[in-house]
Amino acid sequence: MPNVSNPFSFGSPVSGDRFDDRRTEVRFLVRRIAAGQNVVLTSPRRYGKTSLLVRAVAEARKKEHARVGIASLLRCSSRREVAEEVTRAVIDGALGWMVGTAEQVTERLRRLPRVTPTLEHEGWRFALALGGAADDFLLDIRRPIELLADSRLDGRPVCLVLDEFQQIAEIDQHLAGFFKTVIDDLPGVSLVFSGSRRHMMERLFVGSGAALKNAAEPLSLEVIPEAVMTQFLVARMKSAGRVLTGPGARLTYRLMRGIPHFVQLLASAVYDQDVEVADEDAVRAALVEVLTRQRADLAARYEALPMNQRKLMRGLARNPVRDLLSRESLRRLEMSPASAQRARDALREAEQIEFDGQIGWRVSDPVFGRWLRYGLELDLGAAIPPSSIEDA
């Protein structure tokens, strides 16, 4: 067999033939970008927001000749860092200002007097000078976006994508309102906000008192449908010269509840089983391997939780419940109403648990959930029998 690398990837955004479908969502985003409209994209973690954005941006650039910058606020913890990241996204990504001779670049950067570019291994970084008049950096966030808006004079659509936007709420409470004024002052610039932690995003965009209420059209990203994703898994495996059976692909999807990151993670472990034909048994064996490989991390994650949250996680991993505070649930969990409620709120805030309309409260991470169910009680060294893994 030729030496091919694992056809599945997880952990960072995917592109090319490692990216599957999302055609409807890509089309929606490209249309909004071209029309200068705002969108707010939300999903739980690991559903594929960033991959989708990268794909949509590439298409908007190619087909609509749009100028688009992508900023990620993940690592921003101050207004200054937001300003630097937005500057990078606009200058380097959308306007392409960093190409040309040194003189040309310097000339263009005159329009941002406080900005000093440095080339680092991930690309350009734009550091902002401290000092000067009002050092709240709001003007420094605004200026590059205005430059982007000005560039629109030649008729090309312009857009700024702000990934991990939920972070804004943690930086300070006025920043969201500030983005609202930017939107109001710069019609025609499409702003695409994207974030996990849906309830946080909702606090920013929905409901009375939300700073960005009605400012953007919502797009909530769901899992990729089973039929589409399983076809993708089978085709990827085939591209590496192996067979993944239909039932094997469906089990991979179901065990990971269709969440793209986890589906790819499990599929990758199935590939590593090194069998010519991967069926359901191979999938179960692969899951056991994942649980075994990750068990130190999973245990550490569990041990980092306070007692009552551990209890609730364990209980929900065994049996999801609709009404967590019912007498029956509390009896089974052996928790008081107050402590169950506190644990629920904290775990939901941290996205460790979620409420599913059909199933009720459950552990969000399917790998962690499985470990809580099968791995927790095992002594170190003991193995989980693959046959004990239930289908869903």
Ligand X SMILES: Nc1ncnc2c1ncn2[C@@H]1O[C@H](COP(=O)(O)OP(=O)(O)OP(=O)(O)O)[C@@H](O)[C@H]1O
Provide the binding-site residues for ligand X, judged by CB under 6 A: 9-14, 19-22, 43, 45-51, 196, 260-261, 264
Question: Is residue 365 within 8 Å of residue 294, measured between CB atoms?
Answer: no
- Picked from Mg ion, ligand X, none, the partner binding residue 196 (CB below 5 to 8 A depending on kind) is ligand X
165 contact choice in Mg ion, ligand X, none (CB below 5 to 8 Å, kind-dependent): none
In the complex with ligand X, which residue's Cβ is closer, 14 or 149?
Answer: 14
CB of 328 to ligand X, least distance (A): 34
Nearer to ligand X, 11 or 96 (CB): 11
Residue-by-residue DSSP string for 1-58: ------S---SS---GGGS---HHHHHHHHHHHHTT--EEEE-STTSSHHHHHHHHHH
Do 191 and 68 form a contact (C-beta atoms < 8 A)? no
Residue closer to ligand X by CB (options 73, 384) is: 73
Q: Shortest approach of ligand X to residue 2 CB, angstroms?
A: 24
Nearer to ligand X, 49 or 142 (CB): 49
Nearest to ligand X of 228, 325 (CB atom) = 228
Could you say which of Mg ion, ligand X, none residue 64 binds, taking C-beta under 5 to 8 angstroms by partner kind?
none
Q: How far is the CB of 233 from ligand X (least distance, A)?
A: 9
Q: State how far the Cα of 42 lies from the Cα of 212, in Å rounded to an integer.
A: 14
Please identify the residue of the shown chain whose CB is closest to the bound Mg ion. Answer: 50
Cα–Cα distance measured from residue 280 to residue 251, given in angstroms and rounded to the nearest whole number = 7
Q: Which of 149, 140, 165, 177 is nearest to 70 (CA)?
A: 165
- Smaller CB distance to ligand X: residue 149 or 283? 283
Q: Which does 264 bind (CB under 5 to 8 A by kind): Mg ion, ligand X, none?
A: ligand X
- Asked whether position 42 contacts Mg ion by CB under 5 A, the answer is no
**Nearest to 266, CA basis, from 237, 240, 224, 241:** 237
Chain centroid to CA 138: 26
Minimum CB distance to Mg ion, residue 166 (Å): 11
CB of 196 to Mg ion, least distance (A): 7
> In this chain, which of 38, 42, 50, 352 binds Mg ion, going by CB under 5 A?
50
For residue 321, the 8-state DSSP code is B
The strand order across the sheet containing 39-42 reads 67-72, 158-163, 189-195, 39-42, 217-220
**Which residue, 88 or 261, is less far from ligand X as judged by CB?**
261
Q: CA 231, CA 351: separation in Å to the nearest integer?
A: 29
Choosing among ligand X, Mg ion, none, which partner's interface includes residue 25 (Cβ < 5 to 8 Å by kind)? none
CB 50 to Mg ion: min, Å: 3
Look at strands 39-42 and 360-363 and give their pairing. Answer: unpaired
β pairing state of 360-363 and 353-356: antiparallel
Residue 167: contacted member of Mg ion, ligand X, none (CB under 5 to 8 Å, by partner type): none
280, 43 Cβ separation under 8 angstroms: no
- The Cα 223–Cα 365 span in angstroms is 14
CB 149 within 8 A of CB 188: yes
Residues 145 and 88: beta-carbon distance below 8 Å: no
Shortest Cβ distance from residue 129 to ligand X (Å)?
Answer: 31
Binding partner of residue 20 among Mg ion, ligand X, none, CB cut-off 5 to 8 Å per kind: ligand X
Q: CB 10 → Mg ion: shortest distance, Å? A: 12
Q: Which residue is nearest to ligand X (CB)?
A: 48
First to last CA, the chain: 34
Among Mg ion, ligand X, none, residue 374 binds (CB under 5-8 Å by kind): none
Q: Which residues bind Mg ion (CB under 5 A)?
A: 49-50
